[in-house]
Amino acid sequence: MNIVLFEPEIPANTGNIGRTCVATGTRLHLIEPLGFRLNEKEIKRAGMDYWKDLDVTVYDNYQDFLNKNPGAKIYMATTKALNTYTEVNYEPDCYIMFGKESAGIPEEILLENKENCIRIPMIGEIRSLNLANSVSIVLYEALRQNNFSGMNRVGHLHHHSWSESL
């Protein structure tokens, strides 16, 4: 899987998303301009000691991202979409793009990709969910659809097995 952040602005969100990407074996793509420097302590604090293990690529702009990922299947998360994030079938190598915290993905990009726009349902006039939460929600649905390929699906207690206590 691939998560794409279009011009992210808040370092703590990007740090948290980076940690989620490491935990799920997902690549992170950052499209500049960024609202922070990648060496900021807020990113490292949110990403904790996982940031060094992150597979991350930074692009000069959206066109640079497209040029370096030709033919990529890109789903675009936006509150303006007609389809919910559960109504699509995510390919194992797809890209899921999220816009910057203050404005989302620009409408001209959304209009070029209407059929691949997805939304997380919300009630009322809530503008949007937190970016890191939104990424987690959609990414885990995509991973679920792909049977959590390569991920640990069973946990273990240190002193007892689950079957002993049942």
Taking the domains of the chain in order of start, what are their residue ranges?
2-165
Contacts of residue 140, defined as CB under 8 A and 6 or more positions apart, other chains included, come to: 24
Rounded to whole angstroms, the Cα distance separating 11 from 41 reads 9
Rounded to whole angstroms, the Cα distance separating 157 from 144 reads 23
Strand partners, 29: 4, 57
Structure tokens at 136: 């987690």
What's the mean per-residue pLDDT of the chain? 90
Q: What is the mean pLDDT of residues 148-154?
A: 85
In the chain, the percentage of residues whose pLDDT exceeds 90 is 73
Query: For residue 162, what pLDDT is reported?
Result: 57
Structure tokens at 50: 């996982």
Report the half-sphere exposure of 13 (CA within 13 A, side-chain side).
Answer: 24
Flag the least confident range among 5-9, 13-17, 73-77: 13-17
pTM: 0.90
pLDDT tens digit string along 88-117? Answer: 999 999 999 999 999 999 999 999 999 999
For the domain with range 2-165, which CATH number is right: 3.40.1280.10, 1.20.1250.20, 3.30.70.1050, 3.40.1410.10?
3.40.1280.10
pLDDT tens digit string along 39-88? Answer: 767 666 666 678 789 999 999 999 999 999 999 999 999 999 999 999 99
Would you list which residues are annotated within the binding site?
A: 99, 120, 128
Would you list which residues are annotated within the binding site for S-adenosyl-L-methionine?
A: 99, 120, 128
Contacts of residue 31, defined as CB under 8 A and 6 or more positions apart, other chains included, come to: 4, 5, 6, 7, 58, 59, 61, 62, 64, 65
